[in-house]
Structure formats: C-alpha cells, structure tokens
Amino acid sequence: MNGNVSRVARPVDICSRVFFFIAFTLASGHASALQTEASTTDAAQNDDVKTVTEFLGTYCLQCHDSGSAEGDREFETLHLPLTTETQLITADEIIDQMTLKQMPPLDVEQPTDAERLAIIETLRGCIADAGEHRKKSGGRTVLRRLSHREYENTLAVLFDRRVDTLGLTADFPKENTLHHMDNIGESLITSGFLLDQYFQAADRLVESRLGQPETEPKSWHFTDNFKQYEELEGAHRSALKNKFLCLYEQPNTDTRQGGYGHIEDFLEGVPVSGLYDIEIFAQAMHRDTHYDPQIFRIDFSEPFQIAVVPGDVTKGHIHYPQAIEPILAQAVVPDEEPEWLKFRVWLEVGQTPRFIFPNGPYESRASVIEVNKRYNDEFKNKKAAKGVGRAHILLEGELPHIRIGEIKVDGPIQEQGGTREEKAVFGSHGFQPDTALEQLYSFGQRAFRRPLDERDRQRIEAIYRHRLSEDATPRQAALDSIKLILCSPSFLYLQEITPETEERLRPHDLASRLSYGIWAAPPDDALFSVASSGELTKPAEQKNQIERMLNDPRSEQLVHGFVDSWLNLRDIGNLPPPRQTAGQYYAEDLPESMKQEAYLFFKHMLDQDGPVTDFLDSDYTFVDKKLATLYDLPERKTLRLADDFQRVSLAGNDQRGGVLGMAGVLTVSANGVDTSPVTRGVWVLESLLGITPPPPPDEVPSIDANVSGSKTIREKLAKHSQDATCSVCHRKIDPLGYSLERFDPIGRWRSKYAAPNKKAPAPKIDSSGTLPSGETYKDFADFKTLLLNTRRELFLRNLVDKLLIYTSGRQTEWSDRKEIDAIVKRAQTDGSGLRSIVTEVFTSERFVSR
C-alpha cells in the first residue's frame, strides 16, 4: 500500500531529465505535421499553430532540428494540441526561458518583445486547454498518509500531551521528500516495516500514558556519588571526591567530555511515566575568570544557563547525546551563591533526568589544554599542569563551569481529576466501563477526523468484545481498542469520504485538509462543529475559519513546515562546515537561530499581509544576539540572549535583506566546506524562480578538470565552461550564484577568499554577473534589484505553486496552471500580500476539490 496522491501527477523522473533552460521541443520544422494538425482544428487552433511554427522556424530550428538537435533537443515530435506529459513539460519550460530571455543565445537573431509575448501567451493557452481536458479526465488528490511530523502532532492533540519524549518515530524509516516537502503523497511510502513500527508506537504510547499502574509519589535526594565518566572520572574523584556534578561544555561537541551531567544513583530512571519535580542546588562557577575568554569561545557577559533533558541508559551512553533528548526545562544559574532551582518536567518510564549547559564553553578538553599551556606558572603542581589534566585547575584555578551539589526528584505528581491523557481519550470523568463503547466511538471520531459510520462502530465493538472474551479487563480491552484505532488506515491516512462522483470535498474532508494545511494536526472542536453543520462548504465560512486558524498559535506549523520545504532549511546540518574554521556555527548553535530568522520573517509577513516582494529584498529582518554578531549589525552591542529575537532595521545595509541575505539560506546553499556559484545558482533557480535544472550528463567532466592555474571559483568555472557540453548549462546557472559569493559557507560577509597558502595573497571576490538575457548586475544589492524588476512575476508564480503543493499534498498538474495564473493575477492587482495569497490558496478550486 502506498500514499499516491495523484493519478496524473507530473512524473519526477521525466522532469529531472529535461533541460531546464531550453527544451524548445515543439514540433519541428517539418511544418507539414503542424499544418496537417491545423487543418482539423478551428480558426483559433490554426492561429496557435501558425504562431508556434513561425517562431520555431525563425529562431530555433537552426540548432534544434532532427539533424543537429543541440542540447539533445529536437523539435519534430510535438503537435498541437498538447497531449503528452513531455509536450506539456517542454511548453512550460519554453515559457520560462522566453520570460527570462535566456533563449535564443545572444549571439544570434533575437525575437522582438511582441514575438516573445505572443509565444508565451500562445503556449500558456495551450497548456490551459490541456489542463482542462485532464481535469475532466480525473486528475486529483485521492489519498496520502500522515507524515511523521503530522503523525506525532496528531497524537499530541489526541492525548493532550507532548509525545516527543517517547521518540515514537525515531526508528521509523527516514521520510522521503519531494521538492524538499515531507507531505507529498507520492513520496509517503508505506512499507511492511513501517506498519510494524506503527503497531509498536501505538502500543508504547497507550501503555505508557494510559496503561501504567497507579503509583504513589516518591522522593529521591542525591548528595554525593556524582560520578562522571572517562577523562573526567579521575579529576572528579581526586579534586571533588564526587561531591559535585559539574558541567564543563555544551552538549554534542567533538570530544563529548562534560556536556551531560547524570545521576549515577538514578540510572534506572523513573518508575512510571509522569510529571516530576526536580530541584537542583546549583551555582555558576568562575564566569568572571581571568583566563582569556577566547579560550572558551563563549560570551561571558551572558549568565550561564542550565537545561534538563531525558536520558535512558538502555538507549546509549548516558554521557553522550541520545536520539531522544528534547529540552524539558531551562533556567539561569546564579553566580554569587548556590541556589535551589526547580523544574517540573515530564519523564517517560525508565528515563532519568540529565543536565546540560546550552551556552557553555565549546570543547572542554581543548580549553583545559590551553589553560595548562598558557597559565602553567599559576599552578603549584607544575607536573600536573600538562595535557588534559584538570584536577589541579579545579583545586587552584578558575575553570568556568556549572556545579551542582544536591538534586531532589519527586513524583509522579498527581494531576487533579486524572491525567490529561485520561481526560483527552475518555472524557472529563475518565474511563467508565458502563459506557466504554460510547467513549471509544467518541475517540474514534476524533482520531478519524469524521463521523463514524456503522462499519467503523462494528469494528471497534468487535475488538473490544473480543478482548473481553479473552478475559481482559474492561479497561485493558478499551486500551487495546484504542491501539487498533491508531493503526487503522482511517487514522494513518487522510482518507476522503467524499464520493468519487463528487468533485468538491465534503465538509469533514475539507476540515481535515484545512487543519493539516495550517496546523499539521486534526481539526479542533470549532472546525469540526462547523463541518458537521455543513456551513464549511460556504466560501464566507471557509474564509472565517482560515482567518481564525491563521491567528491561532498552532499556525506556526504552517510557517515551519512550509519555510523548511520552500527554502530547504530542513537540510541545514546535512553538510556541516569544518569545526576548525566555523567554530561559531557550533559553539552558538547557529542553525537554530538561522531557521528562526526565516520563520519569524515569514510569520511577520503572514500576520501583516506583507508584500511578498520582501522575500526578494527588505529593509528589515529578525535577529537574536547570535545573528546580530554574525551579521555585524549595530544591535550586536545591545542585544542580550534574554531578548531573544527582535526586528531590526536594515536601512542602508547592502549586505542583508530578503531571504538571500539570510544565513540559513546561505548555509544550506553551500556545501559546508566552501561556496560555489553553481550550488547557489541552482538554489535560486529552484527555490525562487521555480525552475529545476537537470543533473549534469554523465560525460560532463568534473569542475576540477583542466583548471590548472585558476585562482578563484569564477576562473575555475570559466575554464570548466570552455567545454561545449558544460557552457550551455553554466551560463544559465552561474550568474545567479556569483552575487552570493560575498558570503562564506555560513553566511558571513566577506570581501576576499581565503588565501590558498601563507605566501599567496587572498583573492578578491567579484560578485558581478551577466545573465543570459544580457542583463547585468554589479553586486549583491544590484542583483536583488534586478530580480525585483525583471523576475517578480516568475517569483510570485513559483511561490503560489509551492504553497499549493504544500497545502494540498500533491504535485502541480497541468490542470492547475489556469488557477495558478488567476491567483497570480489577483495577487498582482491586490498588492501581492502574503496573507491574501495564502487565503487564496486555501480557498482555491484545487484545494477544495478532490
């Protein structure tokens, strides 16, 4: 079984092989083929054939007839009307290239603007006609399963508690993406292994949250035996007698020494899942150290922070990062005297609390070695002051760290009137054996996101009574029934109950599509109620609900999910930069700040209905102290970590503005080690302009071939492009990436490349470029202006397309083109506000139809 969404979806394998920049594959000069076709059509069709035939004969056939087929493209196989997928793809890409003025090449005869406009309008009309035909023949969304993200969100709603502490999807097969999106039905494959994982996840969730025995609260108090492992063990035993639990560095560094503090006498963890109060007697030590702050690579003006994460000794080294460790609570640690800090956290059965130092020094071992080297004369024990020894520093020196002297754990904390899970699943009075079936039906309706039919009720009743017949208690029979519901296709899939004969979605199907499009979660009571009343099918009520849902904090799921997909931020970290040259990236956890900037920017525009052109250039952005420092903004001197993110002005700043000036985009469009106009140019093509370039042909040599003597990437690409098989592609891609060479692999502004060696000068960066259309720009700011002036409609069309793909869960089909054109036209008339466009998308025919 799989989650195929569309029967007539655009084939990815075909698209990826089509040259993005030309594909003038409309029927070639053998005009007789077109003439024959024309003789059987009406006058309008005759005009279309004439327009296309004359244009191709004048400007294209010299290079793309069957004999030459330059770029492996010949024009003899396409006929009007457009009927095949290949013809439609070709026509669509011709429109892109005519709009961009990338073809014909500048060294041959050029069409006039009127001729370009005529071929564009003609082909758009042909595509629209083909789309109408395909729409009538049944291309539409039919089925897709929940993505892993939506699956966990849905369970969190149904059980009214976070479920990330369980790591339910940690062992699931990695989610495939399409166009960097994780919710497209074609990529959401369901395997036998995944089905088994669903059963296991349902069992774990239900038993840990609803099936555990009632447990009396218990108290634990730990005052010693704070053992720490590996190279810390000896130092703690000799210097501190294991009387303190110490944190020396942030988690997940290279050496992983001192990043996690655990309780040695509490490795078995808590007896049942529940809420627990944790108190620690802690102090920040030596934040005023006289050692050079550069040794530790942190900002000592900021107070030390401590956080609680879960650990499980059965899931890996307790002193190292583990797969399941969401931050449960966080606090600032006092400097002057130790104080009691209290946290209330949720722990799963078997989990033990661990403590981390989020803004701590980076790589404790390196810090200790440097202190020993530079401050050797300060220590009495000269012999010990070598290597990574730290005991003498703890006794005599000023090593920055967090010190915990006592830890108390109390729980599970009793929740008044029953647990949140109990109330969410069974109702405010908890499980009632006399009304068990009605309670199960009610839960089933919420899980299936629609009213139950008789077959649903029969299945639920059958499993419940079957378990009773096997001597299960009524409660256990109910829990097993819940597990069955959570493994049902009606839960795992966004199944539609709208009959095949109806085109428009019925209210409950529409409610689910809206809630997963905006919240990535099931409908709430208000939306479900409106659906049940039938009012949701009315356009006015649809807009009311969309407005309400966008105003709800849960709409951050749309922001995060779409921005991660559109800008490909989900891939940040896949190609991390070297720790030696980009320590700031790791020491300050920059990927999280990078993503947050993009999220807040998009959210601001969504809330304010801001013009989408701000994505191309803007005079503001959102930064925290870390990004203000990375961007060298004036706010780096005034912002504190406690200030979180703030909107800042970029007026007069030529180095930032729009998504192209965001470190997240600049990082994900680099390869970690260095930058390339090719990778960043491809990113601009795909993400901003909606054009997917093909992979290079097998016979194309690598970029390192025959580039001896080249000093900069521009020179290397120039040599590389001397190969005829390379030049056609690179002259389209590279100019879009040259403007971004001013940014290093993590988005820092630079004026020169790194020197190739100590004796050679650092090459200067040339960030100017010439597009295939002949348009030029002199630098990054000028490039953004060029995009705004000449690529605005193409960008807007791509943004609308991406929003439709994300919200509907399926790829764009040719039948959608006409509606995209209409939305783009209305958006241009209304000022292209993001909220208006999003509302248009959620009320579009494509969205509200099967």
pLDDT digits (tens, 9 = 90+) for 59-108: 766 665 656 555 555 566 656 776 665 666 677 667 766 666 667 776 67
Least confident segment among 123-132, 606-615, 741-750: 123-132
Q: Which residue has the tokens 């002193």?
A: 319
**Confidence bin at 370 (pLDDT 50/70/90):** very high
Element at 799 (helix H, strand E): helix 792-808
**Confidence bin at 692 (pLDDT 50/70/90):** confident
DSSP string, 255-270: S--SS-B--GGGTT--
302-329 tens-digit pLDDT: 999 999 999 999 999 999 999 999 999 9
Cβ-Cβ contacts under 8 Å for 214 (sequence gap 6 or more): none
For residue 591, is pLDDT > 60?
yes
CB 311 within 8 A of CB 296: no
CB 550 within 8 A of CB 544: no
Is-cis flag, bond preceding 251, omega within 30?
Answer: no
| C-alpha closest to that of 774 among 731, 832, 718, 819 | 731
**Confidence bin at 33 (pLDDT 50/70/90):** very low
Amino acid (1-letter code) at residue 578: P
Amino acid (1-letter code) at residue 812: T
Question: Helix (H) and strand (E) counts for the chain?
Answer: 32, 12
**Confidence bin at 706 (pLDDT 50/70/90):** very low
Cα–Cα separations (whole angstroms), residue 135 to 9, 399, 801, 812, 822: 11, 70, 17, 12, 16
Q: Which residues pair with 409 in a beta bridge?
A: 220, 278
Where helices occur in 571-649 by DSSP H, the ranges are: 583-587, 590-608, 625-630
* Cβ neighbours of 214 (radius 10 Å): 7
- Three-class DSSP category at 439: helix
260-281 tens-digit pLDDT: 999 999 999 999 999 999 999 9
| C-alpha closest to that of 234 among 397, 408, 387, 402 | 387
Where exactly are the structural domains of the chain?
12-136, 218-411, 569-790, 792-848
The listed range with the strongest mean pLDDT (22-36, 243-257, 531-545, 750-764) is: 531-545
* Cβ neighbours of 139 (radius 10 Å): 20
Quick one: average pLDDT of 208-213? 93
CB 89 within 8 A of CB 23: yes
pTM here is: 0.83
Amino acid (1-letter code) at residue 720: H
Give, in words, the CATH class of 218-411.
mainly beta
| C-alpha closest to that of 483 among 494, 470, 493, 492 | 492
**Confidence bin at 17 (pLDDT 50/70/90):** very low
For residue 34, is pLDDT > 50?
no
CB 380 within 8 A of CB 299: no
**Confidence bin at 164 (pLDDT 50/70/90):** very high
